[in-house]
Amino acid sequence: MKARIYFTTLLILVVATAIAWYLNAEWAWMTAAFVLIAVVLILFYRSVVIPLNAVQNGIYLLREQDFSSRLRKTGQTDADQVVMLFNSLMDTLKTERLKTQEQNHLLTLLIDASPMGIAICDFDGNIISHNAAYQTLISPDIEKKIASIPDGESITVRSADTQIVRCSNLWFMDSGFRRRFILIERMTDDILQAEKNLFNKIVRTMGHEVNNTLGSVISILDTLSEIHSSDRMLSETIDSGSERCNNLVQFVKGYAEVAKLPPPQPETLDVAAEMERILPFLKLMAGDNITIVLHSTATGIVTSIDPILFERAIVNIVKNSIDSIGASNGSITIKCMPDSIEITDNGPGISAEAAEHIFTPFFSTKQPDRGLGLMLVTEILRAHNAVYSLTTDSETRLTTFRITFRNIKKY
């Protein structure tokens, strides 16, 4: 406001002095006019330049992002108004910046602590940061699946190591542009529990209906067989029907054994010694066309495990390898290592399509088959809180079932 007054006054004085000069006014008046012009010019300079200097200093602080420094009042009214406005702006910016930093810090802590895998990408879609959970959950198979997910959509992936995850390809706005981020949510426990509950419900319902119905049918058929024992052809036909009914009862019983698996009774067990004990039976089960070799580097390694259930799991895994090899000549290698057991066979292996469903209830690559072997193994290993996987090496085509126990001890 003062700068405008000074400018108007200066303009009037200049015009008046020019007129006086033109009219040949006395030098005393002319000198007074020049002095007055100089004074107004100095006042005008102070009212303009000092605020400009304050603005320039403020711009420097903003450029350096120094939100803690403040401008000092100059004693000049216009400049002090600029200073007060700038200091108020800096207080607001400092408060907002601190609030943003605190929110970002909280968000970082939440992301790092989240059980979900989170990866942030740059504008080109390349991952530039991720949390620890993402590193744990990601695998080459999952990476391939993520690359094929359209923007804004999610898929569920089941890998060969029994891990089930939901992968989401999402985005958020950053500086006016879409920026991609990836979420990987572990769903293994929930889905496996839901599958188990569904399986148990189906088995209970099927077992109840089949056993109640076939019990009466088998009894009637046995009676008819005795009545018509003199008629050889009719008796054999009745016996055949009775045998089919008994087979169906055993079929249902096999599922019921998995559904009613007893809880583990853990004992301190030397894994290598236990494998040595089971080995003769495994070789007998394999037959003459398949060789079974045991290698052990786990001397003195013990774990807490139910020996009966452990033996059932190993027998079923080896039987699965034997079935995979079939009538061909083959080999099965069992390795006992300090923290795990690996059972490897040179059968035809598992296809990529089958690998995604290998531990799903009722799934089997062998026809006809009920998929009970791996179901039983899965239930036993879950009950022991063990980590397990079944994979085929893409180069050697060897298939390995790996079991890792969490409570390994050495003595």
- Nearest partner of 65 among 36, 43, 96, 41, judged by Cα: 96
Q: Are residues 284 and 404 in the same domain?
A: yes
pLDDT at residue 368 in the model: 47
Q: In the chain, count H helices and then E strands.
A: 11, 13
Q: How far, in Å, CA of 405 to CA of 264, rounded?
A: 14
Q: Are residues 156 and 289 in the same domain?
A: no
Q: How far, in Å, CA of 167 to CA of 114, rounded?
A: 15
Q: CB neighbours of 155 closer than 8 A, spacing ≥ 6? A: 145, 149, 166, 167
Residue 176 CB neighbour total at 10 angstroms:
5
Reported confidence tier of residue 306, pLDDT bands at 50, 70, 90 = confident
Reported confidence tier of residue 6, pLDDT bands at 50, 70, 90 = low
pLDDT in tens, 286-301: 888 899 999 887 666 7
Q: How far, in Å, CA of 72 to CA of 47, rounded?
A: 16
pLDDT in tens, 362-405: 556 655 445 566 777 887 888 888 888 888 888 888 999 998 88
Q: Are residues 146 and 79 in the same domain?
A: no
pLDDT over threshold 90, residue 238: no
Q: Are strands 330-336 and 290-296 parallel, antiparallel or unpaired?
A: parallel
Question: How many domains does the chain contain in total?
Answer: 4
Reported confidence tier of residue 216, pLDDT bands at 50, 70, 90 = confident
Q: How far, in Å, CA of 252 to CA of 256, rounded?
A: 6
Give whole-number Cα distances, 236 to 66, 195, 214, 218, in Å. 99, 42, 19, 14
What is the pLDDT of the chain when averaged over all its residues?
A: 77
402: exposed, middle or buried (Cβ count in 10 Å: 0-12, 13-18, 19+) = middle
Q: How far, in Å, CA of 407 to CA of 386, rounded?
A: 9
Q: Has this prediction a pTM greater than 0.75? A: no
pLDDT in tens, 186-213: 776 666 666 666 666 776 666 666 676 7
Residue 402, strand partner residues: 342, 389
Q: Are residues 357 and 301 in the same domain?
A: yes
Arithmetic mean of pLDDT, 206-221: 72
pLDDT in tens, 30-47: 777 777 777 767 766 666
For residue 273 the two structure tokens come to 């010694």
Q: pLDDT over 70 for what percent of the chain?
A: 71
Reported confidence tier of residue 165, pLDDT bands at 50, 70, 90 = confident
Q: Which of 165, 186, 207 is the last residue of a domain?
A: 186
pLDDT at residue 25 in the model: 66
Q: How far, in Å, CA of 379 to CA of 196, rounded?
A: 9
Q: Are residues 149 and 42 in the same domain?
A: no
For residue 271 the two structure tokens come to 């894994």
For residue 101 the two structure tokens come to 């930093």
Q: Which of 238, 259, 280 is the last residue of a domain?
A: 259
Q: Are residues 196 and 125 in the same domain?
A: no
Reported confidence tier of residue 185, pLDDT bands at 50, 70, 90 = confident
Q: Are residues 176 and 214 in the same domain?
A: no
Arithmetic mean of pLDDT, 310-322: 89
Q: Are residues 273 and 406 in the same domain?
A: yes
Q: Are residues 161 and 278 in the same domain?
A: no
Q: How far, in Å, CA of 370 to CA of 255, rounded?
A: 9
Reported confidence tier of residue 333, pLDDT bands at 50, 70, 90 = very high
Q: Are residues 87 and 208 in the same domain?
A: no
Q: Which of 132, 166, 186 is the last residue of a domain?
A: 186
Q: How far, in Å, CA of 13 to CA of 138, rounded?
A: 81
Residue 274's CATH number: 3.30.565.10
pLDDT at residue 349 in the model: 82
Per the model's pLDDT, the better-predicted residue between 246 and 323 turns out to be 323
Domain that holds residue 195: 190-259
pLDDT over threshold 70, residue 357: no
Q: If you search the block for the tokens 């089930």, which residue do you land on?
A: 164
Q: Are residues 397 and 334 in the same domain?
A: yes
The separation between CA 34 and the C-alpha centre of its own chain, rounded to angstroms, equals 82
Q: Are residues 198 and 164 in the same domain?
A: no
The H or E element spanning position 184 is: strand 177-186
Residue 136's CATH number: 3.30.450.20
pLDDT over threshold 90, residue 343: yes
Q: How far, in Å, CA of 320 to CA of 366, rounded?
A: 10
pLDDT at residue 208 in the model: 63
